[in-house]
Amino acid sequence: MTNELIKLDVQSGIATIYLNRPEKRNAFSDDMRTEYLAVLQEVASSKDVRAVVLTGNGKGFCAGGDVAGMEKRMQADPGEVGFNGWSRQQRVHQCVSLLHSMPKPTIAAVNGAASGLGADTAISCDFVLASEAASFSWSYINRGLVPDGGGLYFLPRRVGLVKAKELIFSGRRVDAAEAVQLGIADRLVEPEALLQAAWRWAEDVSKGSATALALGKSILNQTFELSASQVFSQGSQAQAVCYTTRDHRESVQAFLKQRDERRAAVATEGKA
């Protein structure tokens, strides 16, 4: 499937979403956000997709929000600015929430600059793979704004509260090596190896039961907000569901078959 501003390619169960506005360093326009949300909904509901890789076309990952859109908002009737902004934020939050709660593993393959909303989008994924050409900046402060794409939530969980404040208050640029050191990115690869590495990683983390992955992720996403007893309770409920799945039954049967075959082999050797 190919859209004008978002490209989606599904191969061997791995969905690769390309932000496809390279002439603008993949800055999000309202139209692009609409297409992006539709693609996220599609891959979230598809049983053919086991994992998702998110990357950018061209030299940049995502330059954040579209400056032309900011200019347009400034020219709007002052009496409409508040409601228009609220409506826009609803779509932003839909995208962030859907990417974060995606019931399958997600990997941001950051090929270049990830700024503002782009940086937020990257760390909304489960894992961040950075090209040596990548960089990150929470540059909202330079436009008199605060992070609205999840950075206020995700960044402290990756780097700690004090470092998150420093990065958000200063808006400074973090290169790829420092990003790995701080925990913004999880792995670093050469630019030409980025997508192959992302696809291999996606395969590695999506081999298991889709049900177990989805349930486990949904609980892990809440770990810092829930009490221990709540996590234990949700884990018990999730496990009860897993007991009923075909994946669990078939894996146990396969294990038992291998055990019986090993025992038979040992018994045969003992008689020899």
Domains and CATH numbers, the chain: 6-204 (3.90.226.10), 210-271 (1.10.12)
Q: What pTM, to 2 d.p., does this model score?
A: 0.90
Please report, for residues 101, 128, 139, the alpha-carbon distance to residue 33 in angstroms, rounded to integers and kept in the order given: 18, 21, 19
Helix (H) or strand (E) holding 215: helix 210-220
Question: What pLDDT was estimated at residue 79?
Answer: 72
Question: What pLDDT was estimated at residue 272?
Answer: 62
Question: What pLDDT was estimated at residue 106?
Answer: 98
Helix (H) or strand (E) holding 117: helix 117-123
Q: Render pLDDT for 141-168 as a digit per residue (tens, 0 to 9).
A: 999 999 999 999 999 999 999 999 999 9
Question: What pLDDT was estimated at residue 262?
Answer: 86
- The answer to whether the CB of 206 falls within 8 A of the CB of 51 is yes
CB burial class (10 A; 0-12, 13-18, 19+) of residue 209? middle
Question: What pLDDT was estimated at residue 260?
Answer: 85
CA distance 65 to 28: 5
Low-confidence stretches of the chain (pLDDT < 50) are 1-2
Question: What pLDDT was estimated at residue 1?
Answer: 45
